Amino acid sequence: MIDLELDELYQDLVDVVREFAQQVVAPVSAKHDAEHSFPYDVVAQMGELGLFGLPISEEYGGSGGDYFALALALEELGRVDQSVAITLEAGVSLGAMPIFRFGNEEQKQLWLPDLAAGKKLAGFGLTEPGAGSDASASRTRAKVEDGQWVIDGSKEFITNSGTDITSLVTVSAVTGVNESTGKKEISTIIVPSGTEGFTVEPAYNKVGWHASDTHPLSFNGARVPEENLLGERGRGYAYFLEILDEGRIAIAALATGAAQGCLDEAVNYAKTRQSFGAAIGKNQGISFMIARMASRVHTSRLAYYAAAAKMLAGKDFKIEAAHAKLVASEAAMDNARDATQIFGGYGFINESLVARHYRDSKILEIGEGTTQVQLMLIARSLGL
């Protein structure tokens, strides 16, 4: 029989993060959401808990854990505040992991200790105005002049790129043409914050994730040392695809948490809200709706657990990650809609958690690969 129970170390982590989410994150979530303010104090405390270093080796300041531990933490944070959860997800999965996976020893020693401690954050510069799902259409370019990379171009929707503690953005750029294939050669380059010619543009006014930091970026002759190349030249596109596969497990975990948070709120409300002399949960129309919400959460959790298991076993997990991301993101959006319906007018008030989940959850079907991209990957795996 397959045992899906968490072992003691994982369960202890879940318990710690759940308590932190309820006691530290939840009380200030509505305030940061309303003010569109970045939760620096919460992020600092997450760093002290070691959450930013969960999958990073101890030699670089991390906890020496694994990616599943990160996913479990994201699920618990996602229940109460998606902005905080995505700050952790992007800070680790998109910020630190490219350096941890592909950086040389000098780059790891320079950047990872502060990233693993949550003292600094990093961004992942992939998406552009004309290159989203089709990242190979990138127009940002970089060339070597006098021992430096000179970068010109722009990026969009880059998380953690403009905070007071952002230390770098890893940028994908066209660095030439592959002579054997004739296709663009895409490389990744580390661009530290404050680099001349690198401008963090004003933050977006987003529908949701109001306490998450997201900016467009521009590069106008930005110069960094040639040794800031991350990994091998021309391997940037492959690197980012690998990072995105991992990230889809993380997003699925976050989305599962969001779906669970909506379920929690709906159950509590259905037990206490009275209508026609009885709790509304006695109404079969409401109770069946909540039962479907519970099934979505259950399915989503199993999906990301399965993807993480294959990843940790060193097996190909691309399709499992696509399944998990597809199922969990749709569950978060569907549960947010149903919870809002159950709450009625109260669900339409921005201060309520279900309203925040309703606004926040849509991006889960878009970021780190849209629903359509996941369907494409799954269809291809079936030979279609």
123-234 carries CATH number 3.90.550.40: no
Q: Tell me the average pLDDT of the chain.
A: 95
Over residues 293-315, the mean pLDDT reads 97
Q: Please, what sign has the CA dihedral across residues 54, 358, 300, 17?
A: positive
Question: What tens digit of pLDDT does each residue of 72-95 get?
Answer: 999 999 999 999 999 999 999 999
pLDDT attached to residue 257: 98
pLDDT attached to residue 237: 86
Quote the CA–CA distance of 114 and 92 in Å, as a whole number: 12
Question: What tens digit of pLDDT does each residue of 15-51 get?
Answer: 999 999 999 999 999 999 999 999 999 999 999 999 9
Burial of 81: CB neighbours in 10 Å, binned 0-12, 13-18, 19+: buried
Over residues 158-177, the mean pLDDT reads 96
pLDDT attached to residue 135: 66
Q: Do the beta carbons of residue 103 and residue 92 sit within 8 Å?
A: no
Question: What tens digit of pLDDT does each residue of 178-213 get?
Answer: 877 778 899 999 999 999 999 999 999 999 999 999
Confidence of residue 226 (pLDDT cuts 50, 70, 90): very high
Neighbours of 307 (CB within 10 A): 29
* CATH fit for domain 8-121, picks 1.10.540.10, 3.30.1360.10, 3.90.1150.10, 3.40.50.970: 1.10.540.10
Token match 């709906």: residue? Answer: 266
- C-alpha closest to that of 364 among 74, 142, 99: 74
8 belongs to the catalytic site: no
Given 246, 330, 365, 368, the catalytic residue: 368
Superfamily of domain 238-381: Butyryl-CoA Dehydrogenase, subunit A, domain 3 (1.20.140.10)
Helix-helix angle 26-35:353-361, to 10 degrees: 60
- The domain spans of the chain are 8-121, 123-234, 238-381
Q: Where are the alpha helices (DSSP H) in the chain?
A: 8-20, 26-35, 40-49, 67-80, 82-89, 97-102, 105-116, 236-272, 284-312, 318-343, 353-361, 371-381
